[in-house]
Amino acid sequence: MFIEKIELKDLDKMDAEYRDLLGRVLTIQADCEIGGPHLYVETMLPAAPSKLDQLIVARTAAEEIDHFRKIARVAGDMGVDVSFVLSQPNEKRFVDSFRGLITTWEDHAVFGFLIDRVGRYQLEEFYDCSYLPLQRILPDIVTEELGHIEYGYNKTLELMSKGDEQKERVQKAIDYWYVRALDMFGHSGSKRAERYLYWGLKRRSNEQAREEYIREVNPILLSLGVKIPDPLEGRRYI
C-alpha cells in the first residue's frame, strides 16, 4: 500500500500506473461535474416553480461549473486536458446518470437528493488521498455539494406533501434514479478500484462505498414515505 503524499513536482518520478489512474479519475470527475448542468439547465431553469427555485437552479449549475474548473486545473497542471468534456454530448458521458435530459421537476429534485449524494461519496474518496493538489480543492466543493443534496431532499419532501398523484410521480423518479445511483459506484470486485486503493487515490472499494450509501439513503427514503426500489432491478454494475 502506497502511503506517501505527492505534490505536482513529484509526479514525473511516479510509476506510470499512478499517473494514468490519476489522470483517469480526474477526467471522469470533471465529466461528472459538467454533466449535471448539461442535464437540467435548458429544461429546468424555465420550468422552475418559483423565482427562488430558478435562482437556486442557476446557482447550482454555476457551482458545478466552478467544480469542473477546479478539477480541470488540477488535471491540466499534470498535463491532462479535460476540456473535451465541455462539448461532449450527454449520451457519451462516462457515467450513465449524466446521459439524457432531466425534464420533470420531480426528476430534478430526486436527482439532487440521490445523485448529488453519490457525488459527495465520490469526492470523499479523495479525502486524505496521496495526491495533495487534488486533496486541497475538496473542502469548498464538498460544502457546495452538501447544499445541492439538501435542496434536492427538501424539494422532494415538499413534492411528497402535495397529494397522492404527486407522490406517484416522486416514486417514479425515485425508482428511476435509485438504481442509477447504485450503478455509479461501479463493479463490485473491480480490479481498477483495487489499484486506486493501492496507490492511495481512493479509500473505499466500490462495494464498500455503495453499501455505505445504501445504509444512509434507505432510512431517508422510508422517512419520506416512499418505497425502496429493488436494488438489483435494472442494474448494470453489480
Q: Which of 38-42, 156-160, 217-221 has the lowest mean pLDDT?
A: 38-42
Predicted local confidence at residue 100, as pLDDT:
80
| Terminal Cα distance for the chain, rounded | 26
Q: How much is the pLDDT for 143?
A: 96
Count of CB atoms situated within 10 Å of the CB of 54: 15
What average pLDDT does this structure show over 193-219?
Answer: 97
Q: Are 22 and 78 in contact (CB under 8 A)?
A: yes
Band (101; pLDDT cuts 50, 70, 90): confident
Cβ contacts of 107 within 8 Å, gap of 6 or more: 173, 176, 177
- Beta-ladder partners of 131: 6
pTM equals 0.94
Domain boundaries along the sequence of the chain: 9-224
75-98 mean pLDDT: 94
pLDDT of residue 238: 82
pLDDT the model gives residue 62:
96
| Grid coordinates belonging to 81 | 486536458
Mean pLDDT of 112-125: 96
Q: Which superfamily is assigned to 9-224 in CATH?
A: Ferritin, core subunit, four-helix bundle (1.20.1260.10)
pLDDT over threshold 90, residue 186: yes
Which DSSP letter does residue 230 get?
Answer: P
How far apart, in whole angstroms, are the C-alpha atoms of residue 173 and residue 144?
23
Residue 128, phi-psi category: left (phi > 0), alpha (psi -120 to 50), beta (remainder):
left
**pLDDT for 87:** 92
> In which residue are the cell numbers 407522490 written?
167
CB 167 within 8 A of CB 157: no
Residue 119: predicted pLDDT: 96
What is each CA distance from 77 to 70, 181, 184, in whole angstroms?
A: 11, 31, 27
52 pLDDT more than 90? yes
Give the tens place of pLDDT for each residue, 140-157: 999 999 999 999 999 999
Q: Is 84 exposed, middle or buried (0-12, 13-18, 19+ CB in 10 A)?
A: exposed
75 close to 85: Cβ distance less than 8 angstroms: no
Residue 145 and residue 120 in contact, taking contact as beta carbons nearer than 8 Å: yes
Q: What is the pLDDT of residue 47?
A: 85
Question: Which three three-digit cell numbers place residue 53?
Answer: 427555485
pLDDT at 178 (0 to 100): 97
Per-residue pLDDT tens digits for 15-51: 999 999 999 999 999 999 999 898 888 888 888 899 9
